[in-house]
Amino acid sequence: MKRVLIFGAGVTGLSIAKLLHPHAQVTILEQEDQIGGLARTKIIDGDVAYHLVGGHCFNSKYPEVMDFVFQQLPQDNWHKIQRISRINFGDYEVNYPIEFSMKEIFAHNPQLAMDMTRDFLSANDDGEYRNLEEWFRKKFGDTLCNHYFLPYNTKIWGKAPHEMSHTWVEDKLPIPDKTSFFASLLSTQKDTMAHSSFYYPNSNNQQTLFEALAKGLDIRLNTKVDKVERKGEVWRVNDIYEADILISTIPIKTLPSLIAGTPVEVLDHARQLKYNKISNVIWRSRATEKTWTYQPLANCKFHRYIHIGSFHSPARGYTITEMMGEHSLDEMVSYGQQDPFLIEPLAHNTSEHAYVVYDDQRSAALSTLQSYLKSLGVHSIGRFGQWDYFNMDVCIKQSLNLFTHLRPTL
Ligand SMILES: Cc1cc2nc3c(=O)[nH]c(=O)nc-3n(C[C@H](O)[C@H](O)[C@H](O)COP(=O)(O)OP(=O)(O)OC[C@H]3O[C@@H](n4cnc5c(N)ncnc54)[C@H](O)[C@@H]3O)c2cc1C
C-alpha cells in the first residue's frame, strides 16, 4: 500500500484522508490539539459550540459534495435553516441581498431607492473590469455601490476595492440581471443563491461533521510540519514520517519555506501573498430570527453579526461579532457594549489566516508556487492550499477531484 501524508486536519485534509483511507496508508499531521481547522468549534457557556472563526454553516450546489457529506453524517443528523440576512443602515434594516430590497429602502428613504434603481438599470456592464470597484459599479450602478458595496467591502477587506482584483467575486454574490431587478420592484424576489438555506448538525455543533469524517483515521494532533525533504522516491517529514505521496492543505505561502532546497525566487513569491486575520467575540445576545446582520456603516466597527444561536434547533440567543484584523477582547467589548442587543461577552479569538487578499501580485505569485510544487509532485489543495476564497463545500470538492486523479496510481 502506498503511504500518504496529509498536512492539516481541516475539512480538506479530513475529506481527502477519508477518501484515500481504504486504498492507502494515510496519516494526517495537524499542528493544533483539535481537528476542524478554520471551522473548528470549542464548547463554552456549558454547551454552546463557539466557532473560533466565523460561524460555519454548510450547503453546496454540488450534488457529489452533498452525497459525500451525507454519507459521513447522514441527513437525518442535520436540520435545514432558512437564511434570514439583514443589512443594518442604522435607523432601519433591509433584507439581503440589497438589490432586491428597493421597496424596503423606498419606505425609509424614497430618494435613495430611486437613485439606486436609476443607476442599477442604467449601469453599463461591458464585461471589462480593471478592479473590484469597477466590477461593483458596472454590475450594480453608482448609488448602490457608494452606499453599500464600497463601504462594506472596504471594511471586510481592510483595503479599498479599487486596489483589489475582481476575479474571485463572480460566483460569491448573487448578481441579478436587469429583468430580475425590475421584477423585484413589482413582486417579492427571492435570494437564489445555494446559501439561501443551509444545514447545521442537530448536535448544534459543526464539529460533529469533522468527528464523523475523522472516524477511523490516523491523525497526529499537536504535530506541526516544520521540515520536508525528498530522499530519492520517498518524502521525509520532521525527520520522522515517510511517505510516497504528499498532500498539503496548509497555506501555500508557508509550505515552500518548509521544503529543503526551495529556490530563493520561489520564497520571494511566497512572501508576496497577502491574507487577513479575523477577530471575533461570541456574546449572549437577545434572541432573533435573523441568521446574519451585515453592518456597512462606518460607525459600527463590526462588519457582521453571525446569529449563531439561530443555527441551533431550538434557536437560542447567541451572536458572534466579527472584525477584520487583530483586535483585543477589550477593544471589541467596548464597541459591542454600545449595542443593547449584545448582552454579555463570552469568548474571543483572533485567527491566523482567514481571508486571501486579492491584490495585483496574487495571481503571478500563486502560479509560481503552484508550478514549483507540481514539479516536486506535491499536491496543495484547500482554501489556503490553493489560496482562494473557498467555502467548505468547495474544499470537499477539491478533495473529491484529487481523489479521482490519484485513485489510478494507488
Ligand atoms: C470568517 C469565515 C467564515 C466562514 N464561514 C463559512 C461558512 O459559513 N460555510 C462554509 O462552508 N465555509 C465558511 N468559511 C470557509 C471555510 O472556513 C473554509 O473553506 C474551510 O474551513 C477551509 O478548510 P481547509 O481544510 O482547506 O483549511 P483549514 O481549515 O485552514 O485547515 C488547514 C489546517 O492545517 C493546519 N496547519 C497549518 N499549518 C500547519 C503545519 N505547519 N503543520 C501542521 N498543520 C498545519 C491548521 O491548523 C488547520 O487545521 C469561512 C471562512 C472564514 C474565514
- Inform me whether the pLDDT recorded for 167 exceeds 90: no
Q: Do the beta carbons of residue 248 and residue 17 sit within 8 Å?
A: no
- Inform me whether the pLDDT recorded for 265 exceeds 60: yes
269-324 pLDDT, tens digit per residue, is 999 999 999 999 999 999 999 999 999 998 999 999 999 999 999 999 999 999 99
Distance 196 CA to ligand 1 centre (A): 22
- Inform me whether the pLDDT recorded for 179 exceeds 80: yes
Split at pLDDT 50, 70, 90, the class of 172 is confident
Q: Determine whether the shortest distance from the Cβ of 306 to ligand 1 is under 6 A.
A: no
pLDDT for residue 383: 98
Q: Determine whether the shortest distance from the Cβ of 237 to ligand 1 is under 6 A.
A: no
- The pick from 392, 393, 397 for probing ligand 1's pocket by mutation, whose C-beta has the most ligand atoms within 8 angstroms, reads 392
Ligand 1 atom at minimum distance from 381 CA: 26
Which single residue is written with the C-alpha cell 454590475?
139
Task: Reduce the DSSP state of residue 386 to 3 states and report it.
Answer: coil
98-153 pLDDT, tens digit per residue, is 999 999 999 999 999 999 999 999 999 999 999 999 999 999 999 999 999 999 99
Q: Which residue's C-alpha comes closest to atom 22 of ligand 1?
A: 383
Between the alpha carbon of residue 320 and those of residues 78, 196, 234, 336, 389, the distances in Å are: 21, 20, 45, 10, 21
Q: Determine whether the shortest distance from the Cβ of 13 to ligand 1 is under 6 A.
A: yes
5-55 pLDDT, tens digit per residue, is 999 999 999 999 999 999 999 999 999 999 999 999 999 999 999 999 999
Q: Determine whether the shortest distance from the Cβ of 224 to ligand 1 is under 6 A.
A: yes
Split at pLDDT 50, 70, 90, the class of 94 is very high
pLDDT for residue 190: 56
Distance 268 CA to ligand 1 centre (A): 24
- The pick from 383, 388, 389 for probing ligand 1's pocket by mutation, whose C-beta has the most ligand atoms within 8 angstroms, reads 383
pLDDT for residue 189: 53
Distance 139 CA to ligand 1 centre (A): 30
- Inform me whether the pLDDT recorded for 394 exceeds 80: yes
Distance 13 CA to ligand 1 centre (A): 10
- The pick from 18, 281, 391, 393 for probing ligand 1's pocket by mutation, whose C-beta has the most ligand atoms within 8 angstroms, reads 391
How many C-beta atoms surround the C-beta of residue 186 within 10 A? 8
Split at pLDDT 50, 70, 90, the class of 253 is very high
pTM of the entire structure?
0.94
- Inform me whether the pLDDT recorded for 188 exceeds 90: no
Dist CA 311 CA 202 (whole Å): 10
Dist CA 392 CA 382 (whole Å): 9
Q: Helix axis angle, 392-406 relative to 63-72, nearest 10°?
A: 90
Distance 337 CA to ligand 1 centre (A): 30
Split at pLDDT 50, 70, 90, the class of 195 is low
Write out the DSSP string of 85-152.
Answer: EEEE-SS-EEESSGGG-HHHHHHH-HHHHHHHHHHHHH----S--SSHHHHHHHHH-HHHIIIIIHHH
Percent of the chain with pLDDT over 70: 98
Dist CA 253 CA 259 (whole Å): 12
Mean pLDDT along residues 192-212: 88
Give the chain's count of helices (H) and strands (E). 14, 21
Distance 42 CA to ligand 1 centre (A): 15
C-alpha cell at 83: 437564511
Split at pLDDT 50, 70, 90, the class of 368 is very high
Distance 35 CA to ligand 1 centre (A): 10
Ligand 1 atom at minimum distance from 13 CA: 25
Split at pLDDT 50, 70, 90, the class of 359 is confident
Q: Determine whether the shortest distance from the Cβ of 219 to ligand 1 is under 6 A.
A: no
Split at pLDDT 50, 70, 90, the class of 161 is very high
Q: Which phi and psi angles does 262 have, rounded to 5°? A: -65, 130
Dist CA 49 CA 308 (whole Å): 9
Q: Which among 103, 143, 147, 149 is positioned nearest to 119, based on CA atoms?
A: 143
Which single residue is written with the C-alpha cell 438555506?
197
